[in-house]
């Protein structure tokens, strides 16, 4: 697979950064174009330090700018599209989410057609499959089951509509007469050092002297470590470019998990942070049905106050649904078609994430020379 180039959107994000870093190890890769709306100074510094033969080009531009995307795609062999607005709390207007997630992806697909980019990999989400209700129970689900989230919440709805658009674009004729090949990856909840969501939970735990458990105590999930999620994207890029593997991958979607133990979200946070003295909240937690209706009341209060005050509820019905269900999926199809095997074990992932959490603890509680006993 001689001389190729890759555009990564959302390259300044949690997953996108890892994808860029992992691509630098790919043979014959001549250029990586890292696209995001804005890059933080520390991200620019990290990319500048990358040891790679490939040219790394940072592009700052809006995914809603169709002309800019067309220029960014010129001469590119593979697009890895990780950029998206993620919203579980209902903080962001529905129109904004649909514009960026759906319209932005449609712009990018059209740019690929016009610039004759033959391979397109989309970072979807397990939320395309659900859960649609806190009562839903899925254990080791597979792609063959064709599950679809029926929620009207803008984030899972947008991801579902985008994935349909991406897979429907498979087989489109490119401007140069070639063919566009697409596939979609559905990672589980992604954790690891640098996670904004984990950072939010840990900082709140430090303020409250405990890890609050109303969003996760009653769940069973199989999260994926960020480097393993990024590795699946690299393998998908290899696969779509390999004529022998490509027919099996084209137009397909894949669940991406790893060997992180199936556990509740609260237990995951506890196992990642216990070395630093953080403990789970031990008081009474309302069961999911009560939490769900409390979430509904909080949303009503937020809606009624909106003309005079921007009240952000501590949790919503959507958050309770996604964080208090039994919802796990197998990665066997990715193993079969992409050759996917997790690069990082649970033990190593836990250790690396725990070290990062330790730096957060030090930052917010003062310098700690020894672990809290």
Q: Which domain holds residue 83?
A: 4-195+222-258+329-344
Query: What is the spatial distance between Cα 314 and Cα 307, in angstroms, rounded to a whole number?
Result: 19
Domain count, the chain: 1
Cα-flanking dihedrals φ and ψ of residue 272, to 5°? -80, -25
pLDDT cut 70: percent of the chain above it: 97
- Asked if residue 277 has pLDDT above 90, the reply is no
Instruction: Answer yes or no: are the C-beta atoms of 273 and 359 closer than 8 Å.
Output: no
pLDDT cut 90: percent of the chain above it: 73
Helices 104-115 + 154-168 axis angle, to 10? 20
β-pair partners for 148: none
State pTM to two decimals: 0.93
Residue 333 in any domain: the answer is yes
Instruction: Answer yes or no: are the C-beta atoms of 235 and 338 closer than 8 Å.
Output: yes
Q: Which residues are designated catalytic? A: 159
Residue 22 in any domain: the answer is yes
CA 14, 17, 21, 24: dihedral to nearest 10 degrees? 140
Q: Which residue has the tokens 């084209």?
A: 250
Distance spanning both ends of the chain, measured CA to CA: 53
The arithmetic mean of pLDDT across residues 64-68, rounded, is 96
- Asked if residue 372 has pLDDT above 80, the reply is no
Q: Which H helix or E strand runs over 240?
A: helix 226-241
CATH of the domain at 235: 3.40.50.720
Confidence of residue 211 (pLDDT cuts 50, 70, 90): confident
Residue 293 in any domain: the answer is no
Residue 373 pLDDT? 43
Neighbours of 57 (CB within 10 A): 14
- Asked if residue 56 has pLDDT above 50, the reply is yes
Confidence of residue 353 (pLDDT cuts 50, 70, 90): very high
Q: Which H helix or E strand runs over 141?
A: strand 137-141
Residue 161 in any domain: the answer is yes
Residue 10 in any domain: the answer is yes
Q: Which H helix or E strand runs over 154?
A: helix 154-168
Q: 280 by DSSP, 3-state: which?
A: strand
Residue 312 in any domain: the answer is no
pLDDT tens per residue across span 108-143: 999 999 999 999 999 999 999 999 998 889 999 999
Residue 156 in any domain: the answer is yes
pLDDT tens per residue across span 284-328: 888 889 999 999 999 999 989 989 998 888 888 999 999 899 999
- Give the torsion sign (CA, 260, 261, 266, 272): negative
Residue 45 in any domain: the answer is yes
Q: What is the mean pLDDT of the chain?
A: 91
């Amino acid at each position: 697979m001689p001389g190729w180039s890759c555009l990564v959107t959302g390259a300044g994000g949690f997953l996108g950064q890892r994808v860029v870093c992992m691509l630098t190890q790919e043979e014959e890769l001549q250029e990586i174009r890292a696209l995001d709306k804005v890059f933080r100074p520390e991200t620019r510094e990290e990319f500048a330090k990358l040891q790679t033969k490939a040219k790394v080009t940072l592009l700052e531009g809006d995914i809603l700018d169709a002309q800019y995307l067309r220029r960014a795609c010129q001469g590119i062999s593979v697009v890895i599209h990780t950029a998206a607005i993620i919203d579980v709390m209902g903080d962001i207007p529905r129109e904004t989410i649909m514009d960026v997630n759906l319209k932005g992806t449609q712009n990018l697909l059209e740019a690929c057609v016009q610039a004759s980019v033959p391979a397109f990999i989309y970072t979807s989400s397990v939320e395309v499959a659900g859960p649609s209700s806190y009562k839903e129970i899925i254990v080791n689900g597979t792609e063959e089951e064709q599950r679809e989230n029926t929620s009207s919440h803008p984030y899972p709805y947008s991801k579902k509509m985008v994935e349909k658009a991406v897979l429907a674009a498979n087989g489109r004729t490119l401007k140069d007469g070639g063919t566009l090949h697409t596939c979609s990856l559905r990672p589980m909840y992604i954790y690891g050092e640098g996670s904004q969501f984990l950072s939010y939970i840990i900082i709140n735990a430090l303020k409250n002297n405990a890890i609050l458990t109303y969003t996760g105590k009653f769940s069973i999930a199989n999260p994926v470590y960020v480097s393993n999620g990024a590795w699946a994207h690299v393998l998908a890029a290899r696969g779509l470019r390999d004529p022998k593997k490509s027919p099996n991958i084209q137009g397909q979607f894949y669940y991406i998990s790893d060997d992180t133990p199936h556990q509740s979200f609260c237990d995951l946070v506890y196992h990642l942070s216990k070395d630093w003295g953080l403990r789970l909240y031990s008081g009474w937690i309302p069961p999911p049905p009560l939490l769900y209706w409390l979430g509904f009341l909080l949303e009503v209060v937020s809606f009624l106050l909106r003309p005079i005050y921007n009240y952000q509820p501590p949790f919503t019905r959507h958050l309770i649904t996604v964080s208090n269900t039994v919802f796990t999926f197998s990665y066997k199809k990715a193993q079969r078609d992409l050759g996917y095997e997790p690069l990082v074990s649970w033990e190593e992932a836990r250790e690396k994430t725990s070290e990062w959490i330790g730096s957060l603890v030090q930052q917010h509680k003062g310098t700690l020379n020894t672990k809290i006993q």
